[in-house]
Amino acid sequence: MLKLVGIETYYGKIKALHGVSLEVKEGQLVTILGANGAGKSTILKTISGLVEPEHGTIHFEGKRIDRKDPEEIVAMGIGHVPEWRRIFPELTVEENLKMGGFLLKEKELLFERMEEAFKHFPILEKRKNQKAGNLSGGEQQMLSISRALMIKPKLLLLDEPSLGLSPLLVQEIFAIIKELHQSGVTILLVEQNVNRALSIADYGYVLTTGKIFLSGTYEELLDEEKVREQYLGEGKYIRRSKLWSGG
Ligand SMILES: Nc1ncnc2c1ncn2[C@@H]1O[C@H](COP(=O)(O)OP(=O)(O)O)[C@@H](O)[C@H]1O
Ligand SMILES: [Mg+2]
């Protein structure tokens, strides 16, 4: 469904991605793991067209998308939930959802999708007339995910949805992701929370300083001594590890 081959992305002269190749098959939940600064967000931004790769190709459902505008890519069915749940804090919950559905031409469909979001997240309905900036971190994450779901994406890109949330909310957010996946949405999930991400993923890629360092199923990655010993055994976060930051 999604295929990246040899992607190289720069910020000015700084090379953030050094030839990344990866694949997401329809119906899968694939995770990209890696420390802070490894290039995880850059991969998602390159897929959704927010930054353009210098080299390499990206195909989505057989069509090349690496030279397309972000709006075109959204319209093709790729939803992006950015890092730190970038909602519009001054707008209400309802207005934020409408922004997510900006591509929907029919008003009825917009309201239908909003109702679906409220069914999924009743708390958002209760807060629909409040400014999004006043929501708790977990509620903002639910809003951010709901906003991306307004276009019913075939592929959902999730950038560290658990970042900065309490353990209880992390659990809740991961349950939501699992549910979305089971309802048929294909998901590419970026995480630093290795154990949790791998526990719900079909396949994982490990990124170090802009390169894919390892890939495999949960079991295969468990078999990798380096991964097991340093990151999986005791539920540690990879943020603390030297190896994952390329050191
Ligand atoms: N807008 C930017 N301008 C310049 N450098 C950037 C920018 N965004 C990210 N980088 C750099 O690119 C690298 C990868 O960043 P990023 O994709 O955000 O990593 P991750 O999401 O894994 O933490 C880092 O070295 C980071 O400093
Ligand atoms: Mg990031």
Quickly list H helices, 58-191.
Answer: 70-75, 93-100, 107-120, 122-126, 137-149, 167-182
What was the pLDDT predicted at 193?
82
Q: Which of 143, 116, 113 is nearest to 128 (CA)?
A: 143
Q: Is residue 13 in contact with ligand 1, taking CB distance under 6 Å?
A: no
What was the pLDDT predicted at 100?
87
CB atoms within 10 A of CB 153: 19
**Ligand 2 centroid distance, CA of 109 (Å):** 32
What was the pLDDT predicted at 230?
56
What was the pLDDT predicted at 239?
42
What was the pLDDT predicted at 228?
58
Cα 17 from Cα 2, distance rounded (Å): 17
3-state secondary structure of 118: helix
Cα 156 from Cα 40, distance rounded (Å): 15
**Which residues touch 32 (CB under 8 Å, ≥6 apart)?**
22, 40, 43, 188, 189, 190, 191, 204, 205, 207
**What are the pLDDT tens digits along the chain (247 aa)?**
999 999 999 999 999 999 999 999 999 999 999 888 999 999 999 999 999 999 999 999 999 999 999 999 999 999 999 998 789 999 999 999 998 887 888 888 899 999 988 988 899 999 999 999 999 988 999 999 999 999 999 999 999 998 888 888 888 899 999 999 999 999 999 998 888 888 899 999 999 899 998 899 887 877 766 665 555 444 444 444 434 433 3
What was the pLDDT predicted at 86?
84
Q: pTM of the predicted model, to two decimals?
A: 0.89
50 neighbors 225 (Cβ within 8 angstroms): no
Q: Which of 47, 18, 54 is nearest to 30 (CA)?
A: 47
**Ligand 2 centroid distance, CA of 43 (Å):** 9
Tell me the domains of the chain and their CATH numbers: 2-245 (3.40.50.300)
Cα 44 from Cα 155, distance rounded (Å): 12
**Ligand 2 centroid distance, CA of 218 (Å):** 22
What was the pLDDT predicted at 165?
86
Cα 224 from Cα 198, distance rounded (Å): 14
Q: Please give all residues whose CB falls under 5 A of ion ligand 2, grouped by chain where several chains appear.
A: 40-41, 83
**Ligand 1 centroid distance, CA of 126 (Å):** 36
What was the pLDDT predicted at 240?
41
Nearest CA to ligand 1 atom 1: 11
**Ligand 2 centroid distance, CA of 161 (Å):** 10
Cα 228 from Cα 86, distance rounded (Å): 33
Task: Ligand 1, residue 12: give the atom nearest the CA.
Answer: 4
Query: Given ligand 1 and candidates 11, 43, 159, 162, which is best to mutate, with the most ligand atoms within 8 Å of its CB?
Result: 11
Q: How do strand 186-191 and strand 2-11 relate by DSSP bridges?
A: unpaired
Ligand nearest to the CA of 209: 1
- Structure tokens that stand for 96 in this block: 């934020």
Query: Given ligand 1 and candidates 18, 32, 42, 160, which is best to mutate, with the most ligand atoms within 8 Å of its CB?
Result: 42
- Structure tokens that stand for 169 in this block: 């909310």
Q: Which of 46, 74, 70 is nearest to 159 (CA)?
A: 46
- Structure tokens that stand for 149 in this block: 């779901």
